[in-house]
A = this chain, B = another copy of it.
Amino acid sequence: MKTSAFERLQQHLKQLPGLGYRSSERIALHLLVEKPARLPALVTALEEAARAVRRCSRCGNLAEAEICDICSDPKRDTRIVCVVEQVPDLVAIERSGAYRGTYHVLHGKLSPIHGVSPADLNFESLRHRIAAGEITELILALPNDVEGEATCHFMTEHLPKEPAVAVSRIGFGLPSGGGVLYADSVTLKSALEARRNYS
């Protein structure tokens, strides 16, 4: 039978993304019964990561130094900046290997319903980066939901007038490998609007 410290651990595990009742129970049993040696190692890794990881002062990405690995990589083009909502979005783009510029993480999107106002976003530092002439091109990779669109609109309205920056929105349409049949109607609408000349 399960004990109360066990159940408290299970409750904490269940709050993690992707874990439900069964998977959190499975992991708790694993750490307490099957492989108890892994528990202190996991605790150490959690504590070390919490201590070491902070925000890059330039772009808002995860960093272990003042500036993150991407911002300090001489092979990345720091003049091209992709604006994302959260760090996981950045990680997804990095995983694609399709981008050699740098990033700016807003850590949110405007949402009056959830009480997220412009002051809650990591936007002021982006304005400073643009005003300092560091950036020539901005790619807005926010989602195309209401909040994402509102955030894009707000940002373009409040960018410094000088110097001029080329602003683009990431493309929306059918995902690769997915045909029309399986696409939802919002995606189809985006895909139709994003049609390109084919000749």
A interface SS class = helix
User: Which residues of B have CB within 8 Å of A8?
Assistant: 45, 48-49
Given contacts A1-B69, A27-B16, contact A62 B94 (CB under 8 A): no
Chain B residues with CB under 8 Å of A31's CB are: 16, 46, 49-50
User: In the complex the two chains form, is B18's CB within 8 Å of A26's CB?
Assistant: yes
Interface segment out of the listed A85-93, A148-156, A177-185, A188-196? A85-93
Instruction: Report the interface size for chain A: residues with CB under 8 A from the other chain.
Output: 58
Let me know if B91 and A3 touch, CB within 8 A: no
Given A33-B86, A88-B26, is A1 in contact with B94 using a C-beta cutoff of 8 Å? yes
Contact of A70 among B1, B35, B48, B94 (CB under 8 A): B1
Q: Verify if A115 is at the interface (C-beta below 8 Å from B).
A: no
Check if A166 is an interface residue, CB within 8 A of chain B. no
Q: From A63, which residue of chain B is reached at the shortest CB distance?
A: B3
**7 extra interchain contacts, Cβ-Cβ under 8 A, other than A15-B38, A33-B87?**
A3-B63, A3-B68, A5-B48, A5-B52, A13-B42, A17-B23, A25-B91
Q: List 9 A-B contacts (CB under 8 A).
A: A1-B94, A3-B52, A3-B64, A5-B52, A12-B38, A12-B41, A31-B46, A39-B50, A40-B50
Please name the 9 residue pairs, one residue from A and one from B, whose CB atoms are nearest each other, closest first. A5-B52, A9-B49, A3-B64, A12-B45, A1-B70, A5-B49, A9-B45, A1-B69, A12-B42
